[in-house]
Structure 1
């Protein structure tokens, strides 16, 4: 495989001729719609290319090892998107199950049975994702506190998790709690450990999602309640949520800048064995309207394929930040300036490089609601034994 950057004057046919591959294959693999317009600066994955590479091309090499690959999805995911994605996953994290202050488990509003069934049909483990979402749809640290510090409520929640996993044939539990209070640091780790003990008796693993810390003393409500060392011990494996540097209410920047992601991985490795760490990878980007005004501005979440189509429609060139290892561009519409950051196969290749360099367990995607076919083909190419 080759990662190719589109240059001025390129067409789908000219690229196909240069690399001796099918133009139809390029269009399919990279989800390029008719009439097959290209954005200058866009990255294309070229499978089975045969050509002397230039200095601008990236040759994709097989790492010689397999890796776990998980993806989060809501029950309203398109069945077609799910079927297109499952062949590349080992785990499907079904988002999400909540709970009451009394420890009663709350299933998703929509029926997730088809997701469990489809996952099993593809040999993928369906994972129950547990979240402390309140009635407003936001993470509630008050709910967390009430349950993990109440032995009766905690015991009920764990028992109901066991029942749900057994009855619905889930193959694991993922604990995705955010905004944990600093004083709940140890009780939360104890809760994860107790969930693990119960679910392990069924033969299945328990994972926990970790906010992207870079030190023990990192301040902030996202970080203080997450003890990497304790949670690395408590769970079978962890997910580093290495994304959302660029986010809905923040200033324009890469969603998962590789330099920042590396800092989190290097810190995590001082507390947790590499074989227990999944690297979080975002499957989306953001479109900001400028100027950014904190407290007022709100970026629009967009898909990676959609981002390229915006660049084509606006006739602008896609740039690539070599430090963040992330694509971006700006455009003007209706008199307003926009800035877009997203993921492409170059940025994903950089993240796969971290998994390989540090011999991590694998990757977990937030989220797989939009199909990004080139990502999955790249993953298959880089992690096939």
Structure 2
């Protein structure tokens, strides 16, 4: 089902060898913008009317902004159970701040495709997470009550299925207050027939230091939500040294710690739908990687005559290339790395997997998770 391109392979030779039509291979793997196959490229090979789903009973969700292209969102409905609409903010007085773009079309499209739309609540101010918003909210019950009332009214008016709470950079002193707020949201939503999830930074121990982690109490938050979304990605990020965004060995460490604090049936394991392109040499604090899509990554390799390699440790593809005298290193996701992550979620009997984010095309991924 997953074929890794070898030297000398062509689309036509693979089609002849597998008896799968050329058009089907090209369509499933989105090869239309790619000048030629790349050695090391992984292809999903499915015959006409054949399902490649490896999901079993996994629940599948993912985040998307309201400005997502409709054609890209439609591809994801093949696999999704739930759509996380990113995002609603709030003020220091508990008033909701809706997304800049209209979200109603996403809600309607989700329900039309049998997918549950969820309102995502974030402490955003001027485009970034604001822990002072979290602090005021965590320490003031009246503001919490106002915000929760506004959330309920919006969920009911817009037709959402529930709320996903996605707060980051929570101050250590707000750890308990934040978890209690999530519990109050859940209490109100559950009584009215809605669910509540909460996103968690990827911790590997209870005492992990750092602003991303110290305010995140896995046990308290999981107890106060219907399910949790582990943000198991961004080891490789814009300012990091070149590396996998979600190396499987690190993802596994987070999952194993999470299982000491909460039941497996509450856990959604995060998966990145993107990669990064780093210019070399890497200089800490100076080098800035470019965010790219997974289909785009293979196109870059094809255009620059690169050969794709696969890290056995990270279970992630990567390659290097040179353009205009500048060397680059690229790490991204393909069907092999996705298969490894799906198998990890199934191995630990997790409830599901979730994507950050759905904004870039990756049809082969959704075919791997196609609903029955």
TM-score (norm 2): 0.97
- The answer to whether the 8 A contact 2:242-2:330 is kept is yes
Q: Give the equivalent residue in structure 1 for 2:160.
A: 170
The reply on whether 1:92 has 2:83 as its aligned counterpart is: yes
1-side partners of 2:204 and 2:80: how far apart?
A: 28
2-side partners of 1:80 and 1:265: how far apart?
A: 33
Deviation at 1:199, TM superposition (A): 0.8
Deviation at 1:64, TM superposition (A): 7.8
1-side partners of 2:321 and 2:254: how far apart?
A: 32
The reply on whether 1:103 has 2:94 as its aligned counterpart is: yes
Which string of whole-angstrom CA distances, capped at 9 and with x for unpartnered residues, describes residues 201-260 of structure 1? 121110000000000010000000001111110100000000000001111100000000
Q: Give the equivalent residue in structure 2 for 1:129.
A: 120
Q: Give the equivalent residue in structure 2 for 1:52.
A: none
Deviation at 1:299, TM superposition (A): 0.6
The reply on whether 1:28 has 2:19 as its aligned counterpart is: no
Instruction: Say if 1:125 and 1:316 are closer, same or farther in 2 by CA, change over 3 A.
Output: same
2-side partners of 1:283 and 1:165: how far apart?
A: 27
Q: Give the equivalent residue in structure 2 for 1:335.
A: 325
Q: Which moved more, 1:143-152 or 1:92-101?
A: 143-152
Which residues in structure 2 correspond to 1:262-301 (within 5 Å)?
A: 262-301=252-291
1-side partners of 2:270 and 2:53: how far apart?
A: 21
- The answer to whether the 8 A contact 1:12-1:36 is kept is no
- The answer to whether the 8 A contact 2:58-2:346 is kept is no
Q: Give the equivalent residue in structure 1 for 2:179.
A: 189
Deviation at 1:46, TM superposition (A): 0.5
2-side partners of 1:331 and 1:188: how far apart?
A: 45
The reply on whether 1:7 has 2:6 as its aligned counterpart is: yes
- The answer to whether the 8 A contact 2:237-2:245 is kept is yes
Deviation at 1:62, TM superposition (A): 6.4
Which residues in structure 2 correspond to 1:1-385 (within 5 Å)?
A: 2-33=1-32, 37-48=36-47, 65-135=56-126, 137-380=127-370
- The answer to whether the 8 A contact 1:27-1:36 is kept is no
2-side partners of 1:64 and 1:138: how far apart?
A: 34
RMSD: 1.4
Which string of whole-angstrom CA distances, capped at 9 and with x for unpartnered residues, describes residues 317-336 of structure 1? 00100000000001111111
- The answer to whether the 8 A contact 1:318-1:327 is kept is yes
1-side partners of 2:33 and 2:254: how far apart?
A: 41
Q: Which moved more, 1:67-76 or 1:33-42?
A: 33-42
Q: Which moved more, 1:289-298 or 1:333-342?
A: 289-298
2-side partners of 1:118 and 1:4: how far apart?
A: 34
1-side partners of 2:55 and 2:210: how far apart?
A: 39
Instruction: Indicate the SS of the match to 2:128.
Output: coil
